[in-house]
Amino acid sequence: MYFESRDYLLGLHPWNFAVIRKKLAALSVTPVHAFDYAYAMPSDFIRLARTEDISQIFRMEMVDTGSGRVRAILSNFDELRIAYVSRETNVTMYSPPFVQALAYYTAHQISQRMTGSDSAMQKLEELFNRRLSEAIYVDTVQSPQADSLTPSALLDARVSFNRRGGSHSSFDN
């Protein structure tokens, strides 16, 4: 029950302690249709957090390699760099709010079998939801999304704002 609970919780949010950036290795097979390249997902892959290039179109599915099926990301790009949520097993890496949320989720999952009480299960579900919200909030605050604030994105936003009649700064001269 613990491993399933951990993996479920890891998949709900791109936790700072679990996100890994990686250049994926291309598989030697060509996808059957629609895409030119197939990339093996890392063995500890829980969910995709983002790709390096947000314009990349991709699809995740099983691919037959000839010697078996593997989970893969299909793309038309000849190189694929991703950030993904890993199956972090080192509990010392977990944030305290994540640990609390995991404890309440695991307790919620086993409460009906252990107590036979629906009210205990509902109370644990409420506590889990509260702890999960707190954990996501703390994790998000600790990691501003600098990836989305590229110089071109900032310039585009500023130019767009100025064209709509927004205030001008001394940098506009």
What would the pLDDT profile of 34-44 be if each residue is shown by its tens digit? Answer: 889 989 899 99
Residues 54 and 79 in one domain: yes
Question: Given pLDDT bands bounded at 50, 70 and 90, which one contains residue 28?
Answer: confident
Residues 42 and 58 in one domain: yes
Is residue 156, in this structure, part of any structural domain at all? no
Choose among 27, 94, 105: nearest CA to 66: 27
Residue of higher predicted confidence among 165 and 50: 50
Question: Given pLDDT bands bounded at 50, 70 and 90, which one contains residue 150?
Answer: very low
Is residue 29, in this structure, part of any structural domain at all? yes
Task: Please name the amino acid found at residue 136.
Answer: I
Q: What is the pLDDT of residues 6-25, one digit of tens each?
A: 999 999 999 999 999 999 98
Residues 75 and 99 in one domain: no
What is the number of domains present in the chain? 2
47 φ, ψ (degrees, to nearest 5): -160, 160
Distance CA 137, CA 141 (A): 6
- Which two tokens mark 156? 């585009």
- Residue where a domain terminates, one of 66, 86, 106: 86
Is residue 119, in this structure, part of any structural domain at all? yes
Is residue 152, in this structure, part of any structural domain at all? no
* Whether the predicted pLDDT of 114 surpasses 90: no
Segments forming the whole domain that contains residue 64: 19-86
Distance CA 112, CA 81 (A): 43
Distance CA 107, CA 102 (A): 8
- Residue where a domain terminates, one of 86, 109, 130: 86
* Whether the predicted pLDDT of 146 surpasses 60: no
Is residue 147, in this structure, part of any structural domain at all? no
| Collapsed DSSP state (helix, strand, coil) of residue 6 | helix
Question: Given pLDDT bands bounded at 50, 70 and 90, which one contains residue 32?
Answer: confident
* Whether the predicted pLDDT of 170 surpasses 60: no
Distance CA 108, CA 96 (A): 18
Distance CA 60, CA 147 (A): 22
Average pLDDT over residues 147-164: 45
Q: What is the residue-averaged pLDDT of the chain?
A: 81
Q: What is the pLDDT of residues 117-143, one digit of tens each?
A: 888 888 999 999 999 999 999 999 987
Residues 23 and 72 in one domain: yes
